[in-house]
């Protein structure tokens, strides 16, 4: 089941969750699962609503990058959360939950252990396996109205056919040498999202576990951020998920969003844009 194995009915029948993925909205082709779910959220869609597609025509990543995935090769989906129990500056905790859930599911289904890269990538063998794009709506009362987390996971992509990405991206099938069925991987991932989000709702912070899996903490890095480009030592992350970067002049700055490269790899480019 590596091709047309997905549909709303098939996914719903296989779900092991109570509310994540209920309901599921499936498209063979859509412009963007993120945009589709934003429309549904504004119309009052319930927490846990899943929008998933075999192909995205206008899939995008963080910082307006394009997300490239051939039809039926990947898991491309967005999940709606309504974490009214979180302060707005803790919304990144939902992203952390989802990143950890991707790593959980990949290990459970394939035995591979991915790493996480700040702020929202999943790496395997130092190449991008998955990316996450999180969008937030804040109410007039300065509360979280909704959080939509979009995820793109390279499952059966043959990057040898995409030379512009082959040096920086990897798929599960390339890593293990055989196709990977998307449905078991998806249902595992959604189960881990639900388990971790319910722990979050019960008061458990994901920051420590997320940081423990996080690259490039403890290394010299260069960060390209909206505020500028900075080089220094990646000390840790704070409770909001911001990177704490120790600069050569002795200052430590907090960066919430940016692109990180290891100083020893400054010539490399990340071509597959964060989803």
Q: What is the pLDDT of residues 88-144, one digit of tens each?
A: 999 999 999 999 999 999 999 999 999 999 999 999 999 999 999 999 999 999 999
| pLDDT level of residue 264 (50, 70, 90 thresholds) | low
- Claim to verify: residue 208 and residue 220 sit in the same structural domain: no
pLDDT at position 166 is 85
Q: How confident is the model over 154-164, as pLDDT tens digits?
A: 999 999 988 88
pLDDT at position 67 is 62
Domain boundary, last residue among 212, 241, 257 = 212
Q: How confident is the model over 189-240, as pLDDT tens digits?
A: 999 999 999 999 999 999 999 999 999 899 999 999 999 999 999 999 999 9
Inside any domain, residue 70: yes
Residue 153 has pLDDT above 90, yes or no: yes
- Claim to verify: residue 109 and residue 238 sit in the same structural domain: no
| pLDDT level of residue 175 (50, 70, 90 thresholds) | very high
267 Rama class: left (phi>0) / alpha (psi -120 to 50) / beta: alpha
- Claim to verify: residue 118 and residue 239 sit in the same structural domain: no
The two counts, helices (H) then strands (E), for the chain are: 6, 13
The domain in which residue 158 lies consists of: 8-212
User: Would you say the C-alpha torsion 69, 167, 109, 98 has a positive or negative sign?
Assistant: negative
pLDDT at position 65 is 54
Average pLDDT for residues 37-64, to the nearest whole number? Answer: 85
pLDDT at position 6 is 95
Inside any domain, residue 88: yes
Inside any domain, residue 270: no
- Claim to verify: residue 22 and residue 125 sit in the same structural domain: yes
Establish whether the linkage from the previous residue to 216 is cis, with ω within 30° of 0. Answer: yes
Percent of the chain with pLDDT over 70: 90
Residue 267 has pLDDT above 70, yes or no: no
Cα 97 to Cα 169: distance, rounded to the nearest angstrom: 22
Establish whether the linkage from the previous residue to 228 is cis, with ω within 30° of 0. Answer: no
Residue 186 has pLDDT above 80, yes or no: yes
- Claim to verify: residue 186 and residue 247 sit in the same structural domain: no
Cα 165 to Cα 152: distance, rounded to the nearest angstrom: 15
Looking at per-residue confidence, does 63 or 8 come out higher? 8
Inside any domain, residue 221: yes
- Claim to verify: residue 35 and residue 133 sit in the same structural domain: yes
Cα 135 to Cα 208: distance, rounded to the nearest angstrom: 23
Q: Where residue 227 sits, what CATH number does that domain have?
A: 2.30.30.100
């Amino acid at each position: 089941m590596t091709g047309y194995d997905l549909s709303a009915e098939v996914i719903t029948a296989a779900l092991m969750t109570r509310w994540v993925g209920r309901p599921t909205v499936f498209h063979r082709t859509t412009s963007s699962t993120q945009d589709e779910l934003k429309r549904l959220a504004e119309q009052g869609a319930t927490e846990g609503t899943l929008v998933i597609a075999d192909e995205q025509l206008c899939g995008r990543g963080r910082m307006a990058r394009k997300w490239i995935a051939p039809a039926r090769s990947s898991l491309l989906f967005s999940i709606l959360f309504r974490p009214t129990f979180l302060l707005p500056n803790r919304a990144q905790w939902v992203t952390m939950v989802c990143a950890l859930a991707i790593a959980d599911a990949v290990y459970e289904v394939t035995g591979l252990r991915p790493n996480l890269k700040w702020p929202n990538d999943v790496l395997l063998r130092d190449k991008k396996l998955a990316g996450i794009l999180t969008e937030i709506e804040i109410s007039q009362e300065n509360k979280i109205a909704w959080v939509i987390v979009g995820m793109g996971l390279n499952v059966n992509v043959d990057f040898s056919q995409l030379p512009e990405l082959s040096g920086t991206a990897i798929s599960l099938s390339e890593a293990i040498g055989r196709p990977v069925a998307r449905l078991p991987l998806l249902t595992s991932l959604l189960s881990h999202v639900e388990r971790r989000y319910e722990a979050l709702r019960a008061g458990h912070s994901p920051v420590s576990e997320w940081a423990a899996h996080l690259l490039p903490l403890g290394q010299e890095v260069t960060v390209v951020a909206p505020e500028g480009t900075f080089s220094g030592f990646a000390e840790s992350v704070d409770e909001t998920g911001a990177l704490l970067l120790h600069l050569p002049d002795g200052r430590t700055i907090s960066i919430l969003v940016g692109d990180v490269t290891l100083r020893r790899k400054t010539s490399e480019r990340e071509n597959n844009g964060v989803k």
